[in-house]
């Protein structure tokens, strides 16, 4: 099949290359011509494990193309996939300006029957609205389908080629059949449903996962007060197959380009329908508070944070990605700076993106985890990159000014830190406080 993808970001680029990998002829279009030039020159605009190899193969074999002009590639496309961003507006609602622009562009260009597949995460009812928008512009025959995306950054290629399920929202049989045929080779269950239910499956899934995270984080906070260990608790809970072990890891809360925006958007979707989604509002509030636990722990360990030097390991919202959108590190850095701390940061791949988001001259940018830790009063692990898990903790003790480790992701064991002689502040577990630390 001939497929055009509009929007060559995390979702569009990965989806496009994976459709090409299935043997289709795919053109990825983006209005950002720098991105397209980079891709045409063999570069990859995002960090995503395994992506460059599969892009190179499909370009070489003549199945994958990149363009910054939609009109050059749309005419003979059977399917046009929209994968543009839907960021949050200040009130939490999804900003649909990019979707609307893409839909208008398509409507002005199509000349024969085309399937328009919306992969971006959009509020319930958007596909119907876009249907009306196109009908107002062109008399050419078309169908709109909703194909929400469930990939996770960091494992995006694997997730796209081996999804848990494929959801297709369609109101007519013809596009439902074409989209089913397109996704059948992936071997996953395919759910064909109406447009509104498909849109809701995406939001409900993300809201549920966010709820699991905030739930275990609240359990962690209680564990700290009553002397239980949240890792043991989560393990004991997760073995129950009705609960499941995934997304039950206590930490500093979720971030990224999806959970924060999709939870807020679903609260708005509910509100617009006169429903107060109390549970999800609490999930969002708990998540915001959870980030500040790092600051509370530092304060317990060091007292006043003014003029204290704090090393932060990890800036990406999770390992395996350079994405820092809504990363807990952003709020943590800002809070530390506002309290007068000196902040030294390091992340293996997300430094540049972070610099673009939080460009504060007071931040000390370092070249590795050791340079960040050197002579710092404490180190905080914010993103559980493998290289941080493997550090020699005795060497860390000797590198720090004060042997204090705030583990925002619970990656070390009590035995490891005891052996190294480090004061340890994990999440939802007993803290280990050595006597040699000086408060000021
Ligand atoms: P992104 O910001 O990485 O990429 C969007 C791209 O669209 C940008 O490159 C932008 O230049 C381009 N664009 C915008 N308007 C355009 C237009 N009119 N014509 C051509 N290009 C245009 O976004 P993303 O992270 O890939 O997310 C895309 C959508 O997928 C969002 O709705 C998001 O919620 C959803 N989603 C994202 C993820 C994820 O992990 N990133 C997972 C599932 C779903």
Please name the residue whose Cα sits nearest to atom 30 of ligand 1: 120
Find the 258 Cα to ligand 1 centroid distance in Å: 11
DSSP for 359-428 reads: --TT-EE-SSHHHHHTT-SEEEE-S--HHHHT--HHHHHHHSSS-EEEETT--S-HHHHHHHT-EEE-SS
Number of residues written out for the chain? 440
Quick check: CB of 121 below 6 Å from ligand 1?
A: yes
**pLDDT reading at 439 higher than 70:** no
Kindly state if the Cβ of 10 falls inside 6 Å of ligand 1: yes
- Decide: 30 in ligand 1 pocket, CB within 6 A: yes
Q: What is the pLDDT of residue 72?
A: 83
Mean pLDDT of 71-100: 94
- Cα gap 169→365, rounded to integer Å: 46
Do residues 293 and 327 touch, judged by C-beta distance below 8 A? no
Is there a contact between 211 and 281 (Cβ–Cβ < 8 Å)? no
Residue 54 and residue 128: Cα distance in Å, rounded? Answer: 35
The residue whose CA has the least distance to atom 34 of ligand 1 is: 121
pLDDT of residue 53: 96
| Protein residue whose Cα sits closest to atom 12 of ligand 1 | 7
- Give the pLDDT mean for 148-159: 96
Picking from 62-76, 126-140, 244-258, 289-303, which range would have the lowest pLDDT averaged per residue?
62-76
Give the strand pairing for 64-67 and 25-29: parallel
Residue nearest atom 4 of ligand 1, based on CA coordinates: 9
Q: Does the Cβ of 98 fall within 6 Å of ligand 1?
A: yes
327 in contact with ligand 1, CB cutoff 6 A? no
Q: Which atom of ligand 1 is nearest to the CA of 32?
A: 11
Residue environment code for 368-401, b if the CB has 16+ CB neighbours within 10 A, otherwise e: ebeebbeebbbbbbbbbbeebeebebeebbebbe
Ligand 1 centroid – CA 80 distance (Å) = 14
CB-CB contact of 424 with 415 (8 Å): no
Question: What's the confidence (pLDDT) of residue 435?
Answer: 76
Please report, to the nearest 10 degrees, the dihedral formed by the alpha carbons of residues 120, 123, 128, 129 taken in order.
Answer: -90
- Rounded to whole angstroms, the Cα distance separating 160 from 164 reads 9
Ligand 1 nearest-atom number relative to CA 7: 7
Distance CA 127, CA 199 (A): 8
Q: Is 146 in the pocket of ligand 1 (CB under 6 A)?
A: no
What pLDDT is stored for residue 75 in this prediction?
83
Enumerate the active-site residues. Answer: 258
Question: pTM for this one?
Answer: 0.94
Q: How far is the CA of 146 from the centre of ligand 1 (A)?
A: 15
Query: What is the average pLDDT value for the chain, to the nearest integer?
Result: 96
Q: For 318-323, what is the mean pLDDT?
A: 94
Q: What is the pLDDT of residues 203-237, one digit of tens each?
A: 999 999 999 999 999 999 999 999 999 999 999 99
Q: Is the pLDDT of residue 30 over 60?
A: yes
Q: What is the pLDDT of residues 359-413, one digit of tens each?
A: 899 999 999 999 999 999 999 999 999 999 999 999 999 999 999 999 999 999 9
CA of 102 to the centre of ligand 1 (A): 11
How far away, in angstroms, is 97 Cα from ligand 1 center? 12
How confident is residue 436, by pLDDT bands cut at 50, 70 and 90? low
- Looking at residue 73, its pLDDT comes to 85
Model pLDDT for residues 94-150, shown as the tens digit of each residue: 999 999 999 999 999 999 999 999 999 999 999 999 999 999 999 999 999 999 999
Would you say residue 286 has pLDDT above 50? yes
d(CA 141, CA 125): 21
| Ligand 1 site, residue 18, Cβ cutoff 6 A | no
211 lines ligand 1 (CB under 6 A): no
């Amino acid at each position: 099949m001939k497929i055009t993808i509009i929007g060559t970001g995390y979702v569009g680029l990965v989806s496009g290359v994976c459709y090409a990998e299935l043997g289709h002829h795919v053109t990825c279009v983006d209005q950002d011509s720098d991105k397209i030039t980079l891709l045409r020159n063999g570069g990859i605009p995002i960090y995503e494990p395994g992506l460059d190899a599969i892009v190179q193969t499909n370009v070489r074999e003549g199945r994958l193309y990149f363009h910054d002009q939609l009109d050059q590639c749309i005419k003979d496309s059977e399917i046009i996939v929209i994968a543009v961003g839907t960021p949050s507006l200040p009130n939490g609602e999804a900003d649909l300006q990019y979707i609307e622009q893409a839909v208008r562009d398509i409507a002005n260009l199509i000349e024969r029957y085309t399937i328009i597949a919306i992969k971006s995460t959009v509020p319930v009812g958007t596909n119907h609205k876009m249907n009306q928008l196109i009908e107002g512009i062109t008399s050419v025959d078309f169908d709109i389908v909703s194909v929400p995306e469930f990939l996770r950054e960091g494992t995006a290629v694997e997730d796209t080629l081996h999804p848990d399920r494929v959801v297709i929202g369609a109101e007519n049989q013809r596009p439902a059949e074409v989209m089913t045929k397109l996704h059948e080779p992936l071997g996953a269950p395919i759910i064909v449903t109406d447009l509104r239910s498909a849109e809701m499956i995406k939001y409900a899934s993300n809201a549920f996962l966010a709820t699991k995270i905030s739930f275990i984080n609240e359990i962690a906070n209680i564990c700290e007060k009553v002397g239980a260990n949240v890792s043991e608790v989560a393990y004991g809970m997760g073995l129950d197959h009705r609960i499941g072990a995934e997304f039950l890891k206590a930490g500093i809360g979720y971030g990224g380009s999806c959970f924060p925006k999709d939870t807020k958007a679903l609260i708005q979707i509910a509100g617009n329908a006169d429903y107060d989604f109390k549970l999800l509002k609490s999930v969002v509030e708990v998540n915001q508070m959870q980030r500040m636990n790092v600051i509370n722990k530092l304060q317990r360990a060091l007292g006043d944070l003014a003029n204290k030097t704090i090393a932060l390991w990890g800036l990406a919202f999770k390992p395996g990605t350079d994405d820092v959108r809504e990363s807990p590190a952003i709020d943590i850095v800002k809070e530390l700076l506002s309290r007068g701390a000196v902040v030294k940061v390091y992340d293996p791949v997300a430094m540049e993106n972070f610099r673009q988001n939080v460009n504060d001259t007071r931040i000390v940018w370092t070249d590795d985890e050791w340079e960040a830790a050197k002579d710092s009063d404490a180190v905080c692990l914010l993103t559980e990159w493998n290289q941080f898990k493997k550090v020699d903790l005795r060497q860390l003790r000797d590198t720090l000014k004060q042997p204090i480790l705030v583990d925002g992701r619970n990656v070390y064991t009590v035995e490891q830190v005891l052996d190294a002689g480090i004061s340890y502040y994990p999440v939802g577990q007993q803290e280990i406080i050595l006597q040699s630390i000086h408060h000021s």
